[in-house]
Amino acid sequence: MADKKIYELDDGTLTTVRSQFIRQEFGKGKTRQEIVKMLKDFGDPVTYGIVASATQNMDNGTLQHRGRVYLEFENGEKVPRAEYIKDQIVNENRTVVDIAKELDIRYDLVDPIAQKIPRHVKKTGERVKLQLEDGTEIYRTEYIRKRHSEGATVREIADECACDYTTVYNTIRRKTK
């Protein structure tokens, strides 16, 4: 039988219950990864999963609110990221790709929020105009069709228009009425 490790808590009590020690350290603001390293240095090789399990549903003070990510603006205002994304899609008619680029996060973190917005709430049908290098304006759909007829790929056109790949693809494939 292996010897049990003894952990000393801050109040001076000794315990063989590793999870108590892990929770104590997590409560002091240490990250789970730091606790794993500390225990390995102590001679108790544990996995990240063990530490995560012991600290499940705990807040170590590094989170503003469990499960929520906040954006802080220059004026000091804090807004939940999901609320900001919804507002940008509904009120500013921005694409998921634009928002992901602005926030410097992965597309798959923005898209599920966009998918939950009912279609009738999203602004649609507004024609977007692009300004060409010579200063003239052209509707995005016209530009997409023109560039496609010139032989440009869907990805090249999407990059030029700063829009989703699917927006270009659907515009090209859409039948004119």
Range of the domain at 153: 129-173
Write down the pLDDT at residue 74.
84
- Is the separation of the CB atoms in 95 and 164 below 8 Å? yes
Q: Which residues contact 44 (CB under 8 A, 6 or more apart)?
A: 5, 18
Average pLDDT over residues 94-113: 86
Q: Are residues 144 and 169 in the same domain?
A: yes
| % of residues, the chain, pLDDT over 90 | 9
Number of domains observed in the structure of the chain: 3
pLDDT band at residue 2 under the 50/70/90 scheme: low
> Token pair of 59, please?
């807040």
How far, in Å, CA of 21 to CA of 53, rounded? Answer: 13
Does the residue 64 lie in any domain?
A: no
Does the residue 154 lie in any domain?
A: yes
Write down the pLDDT at residue 150.
94
Residue 4 burial by Cβ neighbours in a 10 Å radius (0-12, 13-18, 19+):
exposed
Helix (H) or strand (E) holding 80: strand 78-80
pLDDT digits (tens, 9 = 90+) for 117-131: 776 555 555 677 888
Q: Are residues 21 and 48 in the same domain?
A: yes
Does the residue 63 lie in any domain?
A: no
Write down the pLDDT at residue 125.
56
Write down the pLDDT at residue 61.
56
Does the residue 92 lie in any domain?
A: yes
| % of residues, the chain, pLDDT over 70 | 88
Does the residue 121 lie in any domain?
A: no
Quick check: 64 pLDDT over 70? no
Nearest to 89 by CA among 128, 140, 123, 126: 123
Look over the chain and give the mean of its residue pLDDT values, rounded to a whole number: 82
pTM: 0.37
Quick check: 177 pLDDT over 50? no
Does the residue 123 lie in any domain?
A: no
Nearest to 39 by CA among 22, 16, 56, 15: 22
Write down the pLDDT at residue 60.
63
Does the residue 62 lie in any domain?
A: no
Quick check: 153 pLDDT over 90? yes
